[in-house]
Structure 1
Amino acid sequence: MFLRKFSSAVVLAAMAASSQAAVTVFSDNFDADRTTNNATQFVHGWTVSNGTVDLDGQGFVHNELPGNGHYVDLDGSTMKAGLLSNSISLTAGLDYTLSFGLAGNQRNWGNDTVDVSFGNVHHTYVMHQADALTTYTIDFKPTVSAVYQFSFQNRGGDNRGAFLDNVTISAVPEPDGYAMLLTGLAAMLGLTVAARRRR
């Protein structure tokens, strides 16, 4: 009976090692931030440079994505879209995923082009004006442990930008942790078998 349970534990540990569940290291849905035009203060350390962004959403005069709390209009109210950026310390050799929601401007204002960067990885997204909030991801594996930037910028400047929400960064744990777990389970099996033989 013990061997059957132990074998099940080893199989589960092996499955965990292969799936390597991600761990969230950063998360912001902007709900803790105050809605305002030309936002400059953010609870989770964002900065805005070379232009402006707005914080729209529930309870504000601008709420084009009802039911999504607060979110960022990537083209503020100064006719110049700002660069919204943040930074995080990452460990060399780990796989990281930046996940974020983008939506079109919802105001019949044409398409928006959004440049997104995570470390040294860059992607561009073209959001049609009626596009619903959709989740996108970017993967990055740093070769050096350091502080890396992640950023979002709407091209142009017409005071009607794409919307950003639900930004998270997750890390996949190193396989070494699972290898150590399997080694420990194997050692337990050896001790148990030896004890049974002595009996």
Structure 2
Amino acid sequence: MKFVQSGLCAALWACAAVGANASLVTNGSFEANQVSHWTIFSAGIDGWSTGSAGIEIQPTGTLGGVSAYDGNQYVELDTTRNSFMYQDIATTLNGIYSLSFAYMARPDNIGGSASNPIEVYWGGTKLATFSGKSKPGPWLEVNLDDLKGKAGFTRLEFRAVGTSDGYGGLIDGVAVAAVPEPESYAMLLAGLGLMATIARRRNRR
């Protein structure tokens, strides 16, 4: 019985380790600060800090009928002028992480594609710039892998870098997950294999 319990504990521990890739981002879908129409939060929003330009939350149905990618709200990164937002993510030194989010160019942007670019930074390093034509379209799902963490925390930041005119790109569904080390998967497989062997032996009795 002790052997069975040990195997079960090993399998459960490994499952927990592999399943520990839940998002490390607070308020990644921007639902914490509920709004009924577009609203600028000059002091930032739950989980996210900003500069003097603030963070603009848009609800589903505005901007030509845009629906949020996740939930009912999303961010527009150009309030009355270009803005930015950042969050310090709890990380470990040289830990590996994956970042995912959704981007859309504002469909009714009178400034055209020049107003839509957004840059994304991880630990002060620019990862990419995203832009698009100002027309209705699906959200672009972005996945950026193999990101190294710093000791304590790593800053995730989004910056509007297009024409500073009050019309900007849209962001939603931001998530950061820790990538389990190969040893975690090996332990999971070993634990599950052990339990399968025990089950077969018990069935033979």
Fold conserved between structures, TM > 0.5: yes
Distance 1:22 1:121, change over 3 A: farther
Q: 1:150 matched to which residue of 2?
A: 156
TM-score (norm 2): 0.69
Query: Which stretch shows the higher mean deviation, 65-74 or 33-42?
Result: 33-42
Q: 2:59 matched to which residue of 1?
A: 57
CA contact (8 A) 2:44 2:55 kept: no
- Point out 4+ residue stretches in structure 1 off by more than 6 angstroms: 185-192
- 19, 22, 26: which one aligns with 1:24: 22
Unaligned stretches of 5+ residues in structure 1: 1-12, 193-199
Give the CA deviation at 1:37: 2.9
Distance 1:90 1:65, change over 3 A: farther
Distance 1:55 1:174, change over 3 A: same
- 133, 138, 145: which one aligns with 1:128: 133
Q: 1:174 matched to which residue of 2?
A: 181
SS in structure 2 of the partner of residue 127 of structure 1:
coil
CA contact (8 A) 2:50 2:85 kept: yes
Q: 1:137 matched to which residue of 2?
A: 143
Distance 1:144 1:150, change over 3 A: closer
Q: 1:88 matched to which residue of 2?
A: 89
CA contact (8 A) 1:99 1:135 kept: yes
Structure 1 CA distance, aligned partners of 2:109 and 2:195? 65
Structure 2 CA distance, aligned partners of 1:41 and 1:34? 13
Unaligned stretches of 5+ residues in structure 2: 1-10, 200-205
Query: Which stretch shows the higher mean deviation, 87-96 or 173-182?
Result: 173-182
Q: 1:74 matched to which residue of 2?
A: 77
Give the CA deviation at 1:83: 1.2
- Which has the larger Rg? 1
Q: Which amino acid is the alignment partner of residue 26 of structure 1?
A: L
TM-score (norm 1): 0.71
Number of equivalences: 175
For the aligned residue pairs, the C-alpha RMSD in angstroms reads: 3.4
| CA offset digits 1:87-139 (Å, max 9, x no partner) | 11112343211111111111142011111112235211122211432111222
Q: Which amino acid is the alignment partner of residue 79 of structure 2?
A: G
Distance 1:160 1:179, change over 3 A: same
Q: 1:104 matched to which residue of 2?
A: 105
CA contact (8 A) 2:131 2:169 kept: no
Q: Which amino acid is the alignment partner of residue 23 of structure 2?
A: V
SS in structure 2 of the partner of residue 178 of structure 1:
helix
Q: Which amino acid is the alignment partner of residue 70 of structure 1?
A: Q
